[in-house]
Each structure stands twice: as C-alpha cells, then as structure tokens.
Amino acid sequence: MDRTGELAALIRRHGPAEGLAPTAMRGLSLIRANGPTMPVPAVYEASLCLIAQGAKRVSLADQCVVYDASRYLLVSVDLPLVGHIIEASPSAPYLCCKIDLDLQALADLIVIEGGAASKADLSAIAVYPVDPDLVDAVCRLVKLLERPESIRALAPLIEREILYRLLIGPHGPTLRQMAMVDSRISQVTRAIIRIRERFNEPLRIDEIAAAAGMSASSLHAHFKSVTRMTPLEYQKQLRLQEARRLMLADGLNAGAAGFAVGYDSQSQFSREYHRLFGAPPRRDIERLQSVTIYAGII
C-alpha cells in the first residue's frame, strides 16, 4: 500500500464518523465526508490540510484553490474561509488530516536550521504538490493514535519533522515570516488574535494597530494584502459565523444571536447574514437542519 493509501486507511479507522473528529493529539484532527457538501464558511486556523482521498475547494474573497490527494493546503493565518467538498462518495469518502501549526516550535526549528528569511509573497492560503516525505511523516503521526502511550514522547518529534518538511518546501519563506516577531505577517497575526478575542465589541482600529505594532494605515494595507479583506470585513465574518453557530447549536433566534455577537440592529444583521450565507437567518438554519452533515468539515 502506498503512503497516501495508508493515510486514508488510518483516517477511516480513527475518524469513522462524518465530520471533524479531534484526536488524542493536540492540534491533530481527522475529517470525513461521504458526499459533496454545500459551501460552508468556517474559520481555519494556521494549519496543514492533507487530503488522502477526495477533493475540496476553498475560497478567500476573490481567491479560490482546489486541493486533493496530490496537493496539500497550507493556511498561514487564522482566516474565515469558505470550504466546499467537491469529490466524495460513500464508497470513496473525503478523508483529510488537519494539523495546526505550532508557531513556537516553528520559531525554535528556524533558529536551529538557520538560513535567513527571504522575501515572501505573504499568501495566506496556498496549495503545493504533495511531498512523499511529508505524507510519510503525517502517516507516522496519525499511526501514534494506535499507541497512545507513545504520543507524549514521539508526537513532538514527528510534528517537528513535519514543520521541517514544510520549511524546506515552497512555502518556506512565508513560514519564516510567520515566525519572525517583527515581520508583516506576524504583525497581522497579532491583529487577528486581538480581533478574534473581542469580535463582539466595536472595532477600535487604533487599539488593534497598537497591539500589532503598526500604524493604522499600515495595518489596513498589510491586513488586506494577507487576508484579502479589511479588519472590519474580517470581524464581520467572525460575527456572522458565530451567530450561525449559536442559532444552529444553541437554538437562539436571529435577534438574540445577532445581539450576542455585537449587532445593535436586527435589520442590519439579517441583511449582512443574507449577503454572506445566501439566505435570511431563519431560512438558512432550517436548510442546515435538514442536512445530515453541516459544520465540522473544514
């Protein structure tokens, strides 16, 4: 069995149900879908997504990428993306492994590995041809789920190898930028953290810029170059996605959900919700409740 086939078998074994399944290893999730899905907005953390079977389309503003078993997805910063599984069936389900990037481990590895940071295009999402050595390392990481007593000792070593494989690959320059405290992408990451921590509060650009170590004008320019949206647009997507979760999972009505995420005007909330999700809140939630699998597939 080739390593991609082995990874597919491991995901089937340890993620047998549809949806996203956290595992005993911090930062490792397994994802399965038995059929194509509707486009689903969700926040993707900085992560590696490696598909063992099936295919998916991910969109960020005007940028769209497709990845499958021959191409992996790398997300550099936390982003509200729209994901759409386009190839899956009960006999050949979509099977994916998601590994969150540990920026501290990445910074430590860069110090040891050496090499100066080169200019990066700061692409927040990108797909690259699969490296057999990367697939091999991911297989060994997932296989540790069968030996839980070894996870604490061996998982950090394999995760470090995975980071190294990414670092010496085509996305290496951007990864180096991510780990540098004073780099633009690192500053944008700090701004994103501040927005996510207080997404239901009024957006105060000066405070966010100060937290990021940038001027307000510089924040706007570099935030949009990395995320393809303004800080306000980023906050709006976070609010609307959380409101959708509150209505779907907790049973809140549209008014209560909108207020909980920071909207004072119910009409504005409904208008912006419709624009993002393609239907008014109530109709959208009824549609989602009729679908067997909704979120958790990223």
Residue pLDDT, tens place only, 33-54? 999 988 888 888 899 999 999 9
pLDDT given for residue 108 in this prediction: 86
How is residue 158 annotated by DSSP?
A: H
Which secondary structure element, helix H or strand E, spans residue 64, and what is its range?
strand 63-68
Domains 3-103+120-173 and 233-289 share a fold: no
Q: The domain 3-103+120-173 belongs to what CATH superfamily?
A: Jelly Rolls (2.60.120.10)
Cβ contact 216:251 at 8 Å: no
Q: Which amino acid is at 280?
A: P
144/95 Cα distance (integer angstroms):
18
Distance CA 259, CA 253 (A): 10
pLDDT of 295: 43
Does CATH number 2.40.50.100 belong to domain 233-289?
Answer: no
Per-residue pLDDT at 117: 54
Ordered by start, the domain boundaries in the chain are 3-103+120-173, 181-228, 233-289
Q: How far is CA 262 from CA 235, 236, 243, 280, in A?
A: 10, 10, 10, 18
Rounded distance between C-alpha atoms, residue 210 and residue 208, angstroms = 5
CA distance 188 to 209: 9
User: What is the rounded distance in angstroms from the CA atom of residue 254 to the CA atom of residue 248?
Assistant: 10
CA separation, residue 209 to residues 39, 142, 205, 225 (Å)? 32, 39, 6, 15
Q: What share of the chain is helix, strand, coil (3-state, %, to 5)?
A: 50, 20, 30
pTM: 0.85
Q: Of 101, 64, 97, which Cα lies nearest the Cα of 175?
A: 101
Name the 3-class secondary structure at 6: helix
Query: Using DSSP, how many helices (H) and how many strands (E) does the chain show?
Result: 12, 10
- Residue numbers in the chain where pLDDT is lower than 70: 1, 114-122, 181-182, 291-298
